[in-house]
Amino acid sequence: METNCWKNKLLIFDKRISAFINGYRQNITLIGDDDEEISYLLDNYLRDNNKSNICYLRINASFTDQKWFFKNSALALLSSFLNKTASLDDLINESAEKLPLTTSLIRKILHKNSPTFSDMLELINIFIKETEKRCVLIIENFIAIKSLFSDAVESFTKFIIVQRDCMAVLTTTQRKEAEKSLSSELNLLFGNFEKIYLNERSFIDNYLYLKSVMTPQLSSPFVNSFFVNILGNNILYHNLIADEIKKTTSTNEDEIILTTLTSCLFKRQTYFFQKFLKRIDAIDKTLKVSWPSIKILLSLSDGYLRKNELSSLRICDLKNLNSRLAKLCDLDYVTNYGNIYKIKDPLFSFWLKHAFKLCQYQPFLKDKLWQKNICEEIDNFKENFRKDKIEKVVELIACFNGDCLKMGKTSYRLPQSTTTKLISYPKDRMHLIVGEGKELMFIGIKEKDTKDSDIFKFIEKGSGIKGRKINKIFIALDQFPHSARLAAKRHKLTAWDVNEVNDLMRIYNKPVVSL
């Protein structure tokens, strides 16, 4: 696997560590979509950046109790100090001569039945004082600390303010809960937390990364694009899939995809199958009646997007449907984009649609159905992959149904038109779409090299369109220059660049391809 994969998502984290070594501390929170990916990135970073002038205390707040949390904290601290792995007793004995105060405190706290969070923080204070080393405290799944220790928030805030030689790094996949905590309980005048979002990567970022970890003879634009569409932003997924592709002996693109997916997703003993099966088990444990929620997930994986579409399936009554969708969002299985819902992990969605559904079938029939379904997916993707980029955008716009979407901090009211007309200007590489229906729609598409003047041309060409309400959108199929975006904003136009268009394609189950 790629040893420096952390560079794709932890560059800001690395800069903050370097600044901390030089005397400037900035506490940070890493917010991602998958706990295992975050741990994987940190594993790779710490392996590549074992600096002698700081000690890392890395601890996971999940699946533990108070005593084990303290034991693991002491173990991590002494392991980092001695740069070796051993039992806690052996590490205490080996470091006792160099760290008499630290090891004495560890022994004392270990006699407690229920160590407090402040006990762990006091251990860090004593260690820093005794060694004169800086310390980086990494707490994975930090939201769990509040339920584990009653004194966690109060003692942690005091520690952050007072102890300037310790940098705090928190990780979580619970974005809403984390943002709420960081804006209230941990919103400090000194030692405030910088939020680093690990999932904000474009299609081209993911495409180039997958290409970099593939062997040239097995890498092709079609194969790479197919996998990037179903892998999303997860670096761990990309590396595991790339490793599997490297085992393939065939050079046929369809066979490479089928063989890789069969090895990774279809076979029950694989990492992905077991990982996703645990997610289904978690629903069973969380909800008394779990099957309706599982059916909602299966329906979402089949392409049902809107709440009214899910309601029409009669999985449960509307009140129950609202409750279950909210719970699936709380569990980070589903993202709510307004009136559209989407499974957060695209590979999990792909597995639900093609592997989980087949669990009830006999082996011989299951194998045939799997191969048939994956071959259909490959053929469908191939058809879309070969389409002209303007045709792809026109098909995307046809999916809009007056939807109200919230993407990040921006909300959109998308148009709904029954008839559309495409007007092209090949010389300018610009295209216009005029739509009529419940409202008027006027959309401009610039293929390349968008300039301020293109915005003004678009406004001029649309000046003759009259109506009570016209939904005007300008799309740049490359990057949107800042000045052009400002011009669009001044004239109250919705402006999308290629990355925003690709985000919409993901939401509407359209294959994301490099436009």
Q: What is the pLDDT of residues 277-315, one digit of tens each?
A: 999 999 988 888 899 999 999 999 998 889 999 999 999
CB atoms within 10 A of CB 452: 14
H helix intervals, 22-85:
35-48, 66-82
Residue 513 banded pLDDT, cuts 50, 70, 90: low
To the question of pTM greater than 0.85 for the whole model, the response is yes
Q: Report the alpha-carbon angle 133-136-137, nearest 5.
A: 125
Name the token pair of 268: 């029950």
Residue 4 banded pLDDT, cuts 50, 70, 90: low
Higher pLDDT, 228 or 4: 228
CB atoms within 10 A of CB 333: 22
Contact 493, 455 (CB under 8 A): yes
Averaged pLDDT, 196-210: 89
Residue 124: what pLDDT? 96
State the average pLDDT for the chain: 90
One-letter identity of residue 318: L
Name the token pair of 152: 């966690």
Q: Residue 421: phi, psi to the nearest 5?
A: -130, 130
Name the token pair of 313: 């399936």
